[in-house]
């Protein structure tokens, strides 16, 4: 039996204003989540816990209060939206309406100009997925699109549905895998 924990980073200053991508710091609410997350995880007394985060400051700050070995992996960085980094979806509608329409049509395959698609993200995640397959008691702190790809992989979500998997903020997702069976539990932090 294998147990894996996942969380998005706490709310970032970009989440507050609806901007995509970037490397924004946590908002005050996000910082509160980092404290709640550490408290919750410490209370579980997970043996040999490891924490894997992206290299971006919002995931590193989210896990900073957790007492466990930490690795910061580029593979876990959020989908790179290229020329659209730092835009809100409303800005995109105004400046790149055709791009947004293409994305709505085929979100899995759609690649941002000079950026990535969900398929690109899944491909660059391969080494991490292979490693996670053999691990237990790892907490992965990453981002919405990346966690959709990782959860989609473990839960065998049909590929076209992966870009729409619900991964809320401030929620810890626990997956227990045993052979071909899995069980998923979510705990929403009260903030």
Instruction: List, by residue number, the catalytic residues.
Output: 8-9, 15, 58, 78, 143
Shortest distance (Å) from residue 160 CB to ligand F6P: 13
- Residue whose CB is less far from ligand F6P, 16 or 155: 16
Dihedral of the CA atoms 157, 70, 18, 101 (nearest 10)?
-40
Task: Please name which of 8, 13, 15, 16 lies closest in space to residue 37, comparing C-alpha atoms.
Answer: 8
Binding site for ligand F6P (CB under 6 A): 15, 20-21, 78-79, 81, 143-145, 163
Q: How far apart are CA 149 and CA 23, in angstroms?
A: 20
Q: How far apart are CA 164 and CA 109, in angstroms?
A: 13
- Residue whose CB is less far from ligand F6P, 15 or 27: 15
Q: What residue is closest to ligand F6P based on CB? A: 20
3-class SS shares of the chain: helix, strand, coil, % to 5: 45, 20, 35
Shortest distance (Å) from residue 66 CB to ligand F6P: 21
- Residue whose CB is less far from ligand F6P, 49 or 173: 173
């Amino acid at each position: 039996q294998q147990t894996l924990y996942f969380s998005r980073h706490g709310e970032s200053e970009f989440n507050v204003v609806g901007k995509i991508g970037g490397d924004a710091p946590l908002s005050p609410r996000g910082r509160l989540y980092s404290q709640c997350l550490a408290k919750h995880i410490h209370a579980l007394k997970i043996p040999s816990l490891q924490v894997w985060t992206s290299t971006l400051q919002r995931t590193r700050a989210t896990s900073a209060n957790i007492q466990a070995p930490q690795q910061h992996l580029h593979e876990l960085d959020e989908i790179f939206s290229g020329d659209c980094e730092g835009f809100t979806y409303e800005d995109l509608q105004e400046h790149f309406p055709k791009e947004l329409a293409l994305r709505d049509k085929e979100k899995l395959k759609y690649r941002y100009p000079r950026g990535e698609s969900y398929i690109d993200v899944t491909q660059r995640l391969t080494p991490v997925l292979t490693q996670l397959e053999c691990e237990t008691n790892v907490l992965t702190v990453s981002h919405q699109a990346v966690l959709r790809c990782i959860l989609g992989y473990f839960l065998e979500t049909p590929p076209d549905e992966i870009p729409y998997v619900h991964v809320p903020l401030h929620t810890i997702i626990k997956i227990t895998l045993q052979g071909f069976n899995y069980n998923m539990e979510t705990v929403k932090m009260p903030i």
